[in-house]
Amino acid sequence: MYLRLAELRARLAALDGIILRQQLLLDQLQTDKRAVQNELQSFAYPVLTLPPEITSEIFLHSLPDEPEPPHQMCAPLLLRRVCKAWEAISTSTPALWATLSLDGDRLQIDNSQRFQTIVKTWLDRAGSCPLTLIFRGQMGETSLDNACTGDIISFYAARLRRLDLRMDLEDFRVLKDIGSFPLLHDLTLGLPFQYDEDETLDDVLGPGVFEDTSVLRRLTLTENAVPSFATVSWQHLTIFHGEAATMQDCLNVLRFAPLLTECTFCVGYGTRDVHSGGGMLLHSRLQVLSLIESDKFDGTGDIFKRITLPSLHTLRISSVDDLNDDGSFQSFIHRSSPLLHTFSLSGFYLGPDDPFMPGCLRFMVKLTHLDLVLLDIDEGWMEELLRCLTNGAEDFLPELQHLVLEGWEYPVSCYTTMVQSLYSRWGPPVRDVIANLRSFKLTLQPNTYIDEATVNLDSLAELAAAGASIHIGTAEHNYFNS
Examine the pLDDT at 92 and tell me if it is beyond 80: yes
Angstrom distance (rounded) from CA 156 to CA 304: 42
Q: What is the mean pLDDT of the chain?
A: 80
Examine the pLDDT at 57 and tell me if it is beyond 80: yes
Contacts of 185 (CB under 8 A, 6+ apart): 130, 161, 162, 215, 216, 217, 218
Angstrom distance (rounded) from CA 167 to CA 193: 7
Q: Are 51 and 85 in contact (CB under 8 A)?
A: no
Pairwise pLDDT comparison (203 vs 75), residue with the higher score: 75
Examine the pLDDT at 412 and tell me if it is beyond 70: no
Contacts of 363 (CB under 8 A, 6+ apart): 330, 333, 334, 337
Question: How large is the average pLDDT for residues 255-262?
Answer: 95
Local confidence band at 394 (pLDDT 50, 70, 90 cut-offs): confident
pLDDT tens for 11-45 read 888 888 899 899 999 999 999 999 998 887 777 77
Q: Are 172 and 165 in contact (CB under 8 A)?
A: yes
Question: How large is the average pLDDT for residues 401-416?
Answer: 75
